[in-house]
Amino acid sequence: MESLSVAIITFNEAHRIEACLSAVRSVADEIVILDSGSTDDTLSIAKKFGAVCHTHPFDGHIEQKNRILQFTQFPLVLSLDADEVVDAKLAEAIMAVKKNRQADAYMVQRLNHYGQQPIYHGGWFPDKKYRLWVKTCGRWSGQNPHDSFELQPGTKTAQLPGFLHHYSFPDAKSHAEKSKKYAQIAAEAYWKAGKTAYPGKGILHGLSRWVRDYVWRRGFLDGKAGWNIAAITYKEIVLKYALLKEKQRRR
């Protein structure tokens, strides 16, 4: 049976990390935490679960998720966020991989929640991610704050049954506040990448996303939550390009 390292980056996750760790400890041979300066009980809770904890100042989601891999001792890694919970069916599938691995990278289906409501439509579903893999087969890439695991060409892949429950936001207010931070991070990443914003670009892109998610992907079927997700996403996109345009103006 292969041994498994579970890798989690954290920052002030005391209110939810226990659920994450409780669900995954049955499949983990080690739990590794890379924290970026938590001031709450995140690390003390993690240590109760036997986690090996390291710290490093936060310099980006992608950077932290790549950095934590150097602290894992086993080649097979399950990468989680602190607000994600492995369900029983997924845990069973992970154990089967440990006993008889048939691929190098496994995709999981993430089920996002708005408060306690699971979201089955719009831009949040389906949400498939590579989260279980042999760490030499790829690395974290993308553009902050939205990361993805980029595989080496020729990597053998498969998909696991079950859900990775993602408790995104407790309510619309926290979503709106987080979206402002995401817009700032994205604008900075766009700026560093040399992207530009023309007048109306944010509105155009925002409306395009709203129509795609709320209408074509039937976000309206998720009720008020579906409306809030689409509306806040629209505002985030508009703000992202407004901030980018302001950086251009100041230059």
- Whole-number Å distance between alpha carbons of 233 and 231: 5
Contact by Cβ (8 Å): 97, 105: no
Nearest to 19 by CA among 124, 154, 113, 119: 113
Give φ, ψ of 215 to 5 degrees: -100, -65
Its pTM stands at 0.92
Contact by Cβ (8 Å): 131, 79: yes
The domain locations on the chain are 4-169, 172-250
Give the count of beta carbons closer than 10 Å to the beta carbon of residue 85.
Answer: 21
Contact by Cβ (8 Å): 236, 208: no
* Mean pLDDT over the full length of the chain: 96
CATH of domain 4-169: 3.90.550.10
- Whole-number Å distance between alpha carbons of 73 and 64: 17
pLDDT tens digits along 3-59: 999 999 999 999 999 999 999 999 999 999 999 999 999 999 999 999 999 999 999
